[in-house]
Each structure stands twice: as C-alpha cells, then as structure tokens.
Structure 1
Amino acid sequence: MSFLRRKPAAAAAETVAEPVVPAGPVVGKGRPTPKRRDAQGGHRGPVAPPPRTQKEAVQRSKAQGKTMTKDERRAAAAERREKMMRGDDAYVLPRDRGEVRAYVRDVVDTRRNLAGILLPVAVIAFVVLLIPSAIIQLYGPLVMLIAILAAVADGIVFGRQLGRRVREKFPKGDNSGLSTKGRALGFYAFNRACLPRRWRVPRPRLERSATVG
C-alpha cells in the first residue's frame, strides 16, 4: 500500500520537471541582451603605439594586410605613402629621418640649385649624340662639361655652408643616429637638389621664396 501511495507523488514530480513548450513561435533571441561593456569586452585593451622604425611599420602592415580586403590594403598603402610624403619619421626612408635632415630638405627646397640642371643636361647630351653636325659635336660636349663642373662646384660650396648652419642650429645633433657631418649632409642635399621639386620625397614643405631660420 505504501508503494501505491508514492506513485502519484513521483508522477507529479515528473510532470513538474517537464519543460513548458510555448504554443506559438518564439519571438526575440531567447536570452537577455548583454550590456555594451560586456559585448565590447573582447575589443578592450591598450592601443598599440605607432611604429618606431620603418622595419616595424612594414612588419605591422604585413600582419594587418593578412586580414584586410584588397580595398583596405590599397587605402592603407595610400595612407602610408601620404605620411611618407609629409615627412613623418615613422614612414620615411632611414636616410630622411630626423630634424637635421628635415632642415636640410627645407634649405634645399627654398634655394635655386645648379645641381637641378644635371638631369636636363643628361637629356641634352643624349640628343646631341644623335645630331650629325660637326659644330654641335665639337662644342656640345664642352658646354655640358662646363655645366656639370659648375653644378658640382656649387654643390661643394653649398655643402660647406650647410654644414656650418646645421652645427649652429643643432649643436647636439638629433636622435636619428644619422651623420651630421658636412660631407654627409652635402651629399644628401646634392642628391635632393638634382631632382625637380615635384619628384622629391618627402615633398617640399616650403615655397622656393621662403626663408629658413
């Protein structure tokens, strides 16, 4: 008889334990909406500092490029180039880093340099070789040689003046680790002066008539 008394209680317990299934369709996600700070928990954390060297910037861009689409990679490359053209030390070539090199570029860009005639002279020299004229063949190379010597002499004098100006403005140099000696700066300035303004990288920050302190 005792067994018969427990049976209704056990059946009632089983009935209560059964999940209640709604008759209609379930509306919503079926779970509470998480808080915003909990949903963003996986994205929280310190922001990575900007790259300190060109190598670090390249490595970071490669790592990011693996998860980027083609358009995103193209936009990132355009952004890096724009920062390089502006003279951002984190994106320029190693030879262009530092306050001293930026100052040298400003001085070169605001000056009329005879080194700028070397590229046109090279083009003219090629054309002269194609002209079958005895007078041009005789005097053409002489004129081009004079132009080249004048450009080199101007570069040497300018390099010495530039070295003195840099020593006065930056007596302790900068933290780029690049040489601030007159020869190194003169060679750097000469290479930049040989190119037309629109071809220079980073692009000129000052107009030709500007004054550099």
Structure 2
Amino acid sequence: MFGRNKDKVTAEPTAAETPASNEPSSGGKGAPTPRRNEQVARNKRPLVSSDKKERREQERRRRIEAQERLRLANETGDDRYMMPRDKGPQKRFARDFVDARWMIGEFLMIIIFAFLIVSFAFVDNLAVQANVTIALWVVLLVTILDAFIMTRQLKKRLVAEFGHHERGVLWYAAMRGLQFRKMRLPKPMVKRGGAPRD
C-alpha cells in the first residue's frame, strides 16, 4: 500500500531533473568542437613580428645595445663585450705592455706631417728636400727598430707569464704601438711606466 506511492514520489524528481533531449541547454556552447589542428593554428604566435617596421625597430634597438656594450667595454677594459680581435688575457697583457711604454711609432704621423710642411715650404730648395727625405727614412727605421725591440721583450714576458705566446699577439702589439695613445681602443688602462694588470 505504501510501496506504490513511494515509487511515484521517487520517480517524479528524477523525471524533472532530466532535461528533454530536444531542448537546448543553457550551459551548452551551441557549436561543434573545433578540431585540434584548428586550435593549434589559432593559438600560434609568430616568433618574429610580421610587421616590417617593428622588426626594423627591434634590430635597431639590438644594434644600439651592442654598440653601447662595446663602447663601455673599450672604456672599462671589460673583456666580455670586446671585439674578438681584442679578447683574451694575452691581448690584454700586450695592450698594457705597450701602453706602459713611450713608443716612437705613436708620434710617426705627426712627424710625417711636420716633414711634409717643411718639404712644401722649401719646395725650391733641393738641399732641404734631400735632408727631409733622409730624416724621414731615419725616423721610419728607428720606428721599426723600436717596434722590433718591444715585440722581443713582450715575447719574453708572455712566455714567462703564460708559458707561450699566442699567434698574432706580437703583431697586435706592434700595430697598437703605431697609434697615438689617446686614440687607442680599447683605451689604455695603465699609466706610462706602470706594470701590466694581473
């Protein structure tokens, strides 16, 4: 007697809770599920911007940052951001060795310019022209001899300090010795008469 009523009471909420299959659900999306390749394509972001103007701006910023790092490295002696030709402990030792000396080669351009002025001033005087030519050759020979002596001394110091000398370091030092001190890059880190840094 009570069993039938009980079945009716329990059956009614179940029917009420189950929505009709033909009625649209409020929580449904109302569209078919997109395929996986469509989702992947939609979520892709280009690693390089497709905008040419933006790409150029990014490249310009990177170039400016690299130039700024190089400028600071040349001023502070930071080996990490220097150009490859200036990197390495032996190159740094060679720079300091040259910068600590007086080199005739660093004044070579000034001497040549002075000889040219004298030569043009006395263009009709053959004796002066001959003397200027001889003096110029003497200065060139003394410059070469000074660079040769410096590189021999540097080679001994490099072998004593590092056990060997790398290829190209002596030429690197000779070329630096031909530059005016204030125009050398990287900038000198030691004073004249000083010792190379450790």
Q: TM-score over 0.5 for the alignment?
A: yes
Q: What is the TM-score normalised by the length of structure 1? A: 0.58
* In structure 2, distance between residues paired with 1:97 and 1:206: 17
CA change 1:143–1:87 in 2 (3 A) is same
Within 5 Å, which residues of 2 pair with 1:8-47? Answer: none
Which structure has the larger Rg?
2
Q: Which string of whole-angstrom CA distances, capped at 9 and with x for unpartnered residues, describes residues 162-212 of structure 1?
A: 101110000156xxxx41xxxx43322111011111111111111113233
* In structure 2, distance between residues paired with 1:154 and 1:205: 22
CA change 1:66–1:206 in 2 (3 A) is same
In structure 2, the gaps of 5 or more residues are 1-15, 20-24, 28-54
CA change 1:162–1:70 in 2 (3 A) is closer
Q: Which has the higher helix share?
A: 2
Bigger relative contact order (CA 8 A; separation at least 6): 2
Contact 2:99 2:188 in 1 (8 A): yes
- 1:210 lines up with 2:187 in the alignment: no
Over the residues paired in the alignment, what is the CA RMSD in angstroms? 3.3
* In structure 2, distance between residues paired with 1:89 and 1:133: 53
Structure 1 residue 93 displacement after superposition = 2.8
Letter in 2 for 1:207: K
- The percentage of aligned residue pairs carrying the same residue is 24
Partner in structure 1 of residue 176 of structure 2: 192
Give the aligned length: 153
Partner in structure 1 of residue 101 of structure 2: 111
Letter in 2 for 1:122: I
Q: What is the TM-score normalised by the length of structure 2? A: 0.62
* In structure 1, distance between residues paired with 2:157 and 2:66: 38
Partner in structure 1 of residue 78 of structure 2: 88
Within 5 Å, which residues of 2 pair with 1:1-213? Answer: 66=56, 68=58, 74=64, 76-131=66-121, 132-134=123-125, 135-171=127-163, 178-179=166-167, 184-212=168-196
Structure 1 segments, 4+ long, off by >4 Å, are: 69-73
* In structure 2, distance between residues paired with 1:90 and 1:66: 26
CA change 1:142–1:212 in 2 (3 A) is same
* In structure 1, distance between residues paired with 2:159 and 2:187: 24
* In structure 1, distance between residues paired with 2:79 and 2:196: 20
SS at structure 2 position matched to 1:68: helix
In structure 1, the gaps of 5 or more residues are 1-9, 20-64
